[in-house]
Amino acid sequence: MVQADYSYLLRQKSSALAGYQRRMVSELQRRGATLADVQGVELDVMGKVVEATFDAVLTIKSDGRIVKANTAAERTFGHSIEQLSGLSVLKILPHYNDFTNKEHIHCAVGQGHRETIGNTYDGKQFPVDIVIDIARIGADSIHVLVARDITELREQQKQLEHQALHDALTGLPNRVLLANRIEHALALAERNKNVVALMLLDLDRFKEVNDTLGHHVGDLLLQDLALRLKDAIRASDTVARLGGDEFAILLPMVEDEKQAHEMASRVMDVFATPFQLSEDLQLEVGCSIGIAMYPTHGDDAAKIMQCADVAMYAAKSGTIKIMHYDSTKDTNSLRQLTLSGELRQSIQDKLLTMEFQPQLDLSQQVICSVEGLARWRHPRLGYVSPDEFIKNAEQAGIIRELTQWTFVRALEQLTEWQNQNLNLSLAINLSAKLLQDNQVADQLKEMLSGYAIRPQLLTLEITESALMADPEAAREALKKLANLGIKLSIDDFGTGYSSLSYLQKLPLDELKIDKSFVFGLLDSHNDGVIVRSTIDLAHNLGLTVVAEGVESLEHIETLAHLECDIAQGFCISPSLTPDLLNQWILSSNRTVARIAA
């Protein structure tokens, strides 16, 4: 901006001097002045222009001695005009000969701008932009050099380059610089035959920190974490922030997966000490780490990054918080990317459907409830299993939209059954990702207010593992949901690690025995003991018991003998569309409890 202002002033002054020159030449010619007089005026005007310019202007003899210099040259190089006169140009521009020797590859006379180093009177060096050309005076020729100090410009460029390659909040390298360093590390590894590891790290419950305490506190946490991570790694390693609460650590030289795992454990140790963000605010935060190795898992930066990302999501969804890439747990990435976009569009266009699997009251031998199951029949890929597209929705960040669609569809179906005088309750699954979402209970409350149905007809099923991931947060979330009047059920019970004391603290209505135990009920003594004990436990806590995975009449008879309340499985019925379900329920040998008139 400063240079632009000087340029403007110079143009203004040059214009004024040019006008003055024209007037003087015209006057001299009118008076019959000689050519020498006119040339003298022109030289005088040019001298004033040179003196007014912001750039240093030097005239230099063929032997490298400075003939003349303007005031800007004095200001630029720190020598007085008298000191510059007769001084070797190499004193202030040590690489000058590189640009004037026609035999030299860098010859730049008449070739435009070049950058070189300038020296000041006291020996300091600075970057300078120069333009060199030749002027002829009679039989002699001299070099005319225009120079500009570009120190400020270079500093601005460095700042811009730093901003382009580093994260503004933490000062760590960003995704662009990390990719560059991965490429460099892989090139060296290929030449030296060594191993490279990449770790991706994602914080647990960071969204909750932002939502509860504000983004300012979240920023403080990320800045503190950045300092800790830098202290935990070696000088040759790189820690970068990819965005949000996601970080990457590049280990350009490790011996094997074992050493990479040890480094990941060191990184995990930084979370052992709570983050002291202010005098009265201390947070305990955990993380999940995914590790990918070169050359085992890939031979380019994009593949290594993708594998580390897959491993990190595996760590986030499981109980082991450091995971190495496992190709058996990786799905086709192109398919997953395609599904993410098309699933979002299918939700918006209401192309998903819901089917319902009946649940049998074992004591009354009537259908008392159903489980609602989302179904997606892709126009090109065909049937996409719920396990795949629900996991995809969680990873792609669209699980909230999918859950909202599920709520609306469930409430619409309950309303329809109520209008048909069918006393059916409906159970739907709540994603573990949304269990601690503070907005879910408010969202469901608002939806319930728009339907004239009893809230207790709706049951939310939550997996046991989701409850145990963060017991206290889960307990608070379930309280909010229970206050709406809906029922709550633990799904897949027996696969987690919940305790009796913990179950007593939860506002639960139902316990669902995992099908893996029901499958072995008839053949495995241990499974039989587990099912019997679970039924007794649930009844002692005042909970209804549902057994899923029922595949034979023997299962039904045994479960009834054990006083299980409800059974669900293919022996009773597979999932059905709403129309088929109505026909099935109203057939002669299958009844459903009626709403009292």
CATH of the domain at 368: 3.20.20.450
User: Is 449 inside any structural domain?
Assistant: yes
User: Is 350 inside any structural domain?
Assistant: no
Q: How confident is the model at residue 30 (pLDDT cuts 50, 70, 90)?
A: low
Q: Which domain holds residue 142?
A: 2-154
CA 445, CA 486: separation in Å to the nearest integer?
A: 10
User: Is 379 inside any structural domain?
Assistant: no
A 10 A CB-CB count for 537 gives: 15
Q: How confident is the model at residue 558 (pLDDT cuts 50, 70, 90)?
A: very high
CATH number at residue 217: 3.30.70.270
Give the chain's domain count: 3
Res 104: pLDDT: 56
The residues, ordered by sequence, that sit 6+ positions from 356 with a Cβ below 8 Å of its Cβ are 370, 371, 372, 373, 413, 426, 575, 576, 577, 578, 581
Res 50: pLDDT: 67
Q: Do 409 and 313 belong to one domain?
A: no
- Domain boundary (154, 187, 222) is at 154
Q: Do 76 and 174 belong to one domain?
A: no
> What mean pLDDT comes out for the span 3-13?
42
Conformation bin of residue 69: beta by default, left when phi > 0, alpha when psi is -120 to 50: beta
User: Is 343 inside any structural domain?
Assistant: no
User: Is 476 inside any structural domain?
Assistant: yes
Contact 462, 440 (CB under 8 A): no
Asked whether residue 455 carries a pLDDT value surpassing 60, the answer given is: yes
Single pTM value for the model: 0.50
Res 110: pLDDT: 67
3 state SS of 112? coil
User: Is 386 inside any structural domain?
Assistant: no
CATH number at residue 126: 3.30.450.20
Q: Do 183 and 317 belong to one domain?
A: yes
Q: Do 516 and 538 belong to one domain?
A: yes
Q: Do 144 and 174 belong to one domain?
A: no
Q: Do 173 and 129 belong to one domain?
A: no
Q: How confident is the model at residue 101 (pLDDT cuts 50, 70, 90)?
A: confident
Q: Do 7 and 102 belong to one domain?
A: yes
Residue with token string 């419950």: 205
Q: Do 170 and 199 belong to one domain?
A: yes
CA 107, CA 469: separation in Å to the nearest integer?
A: 70
Q: What is the pLDDT of residues 357-404, one digit of tens each?
A: 999 999 988 889 999 999 998 877 788 888 888 888 887 778 889 999
Residue with token string 């003991």: 529
Q: Do 281 and 172 belong to one domain?
A: yes
User: Is 509 inside any structural domain?
Assistant: yes
Pairing assessment for the beta strands 140-149 and 238-243 based on DSSP bridges: unpaired
Q: Do 418 and 538 belong to one domain?
A: yes
User: Is 216 inside any structural domain?
Assistant: yes
Q: Which amino acid is at 331?
A: T
Res 195: pLDDT: 95
Q: Do 139 and 191 belong to one domain?
A: no
CA 200, CA 312: separation in Å to the nearest integer?
A: 6
CA 102, CA 520: separation in Å to the nearest integer?
A: 92
Provide the Cα torsion 336, 341, 347, 352; round to 10°.
-40
Asked whether residue 5 carries a pLDDT value surpassing 90, the answer given is: no
Asked whether residue 551 carries a pLDDT value surpassing 90, the answer given is: no
Asked whether residue 469 carries a pLDDT value surpassing 70, the answer given is: no
- Domain boundary (154, 183, 218) is at 154
Q: Do 185 and 91 belong to one domain?
A: no
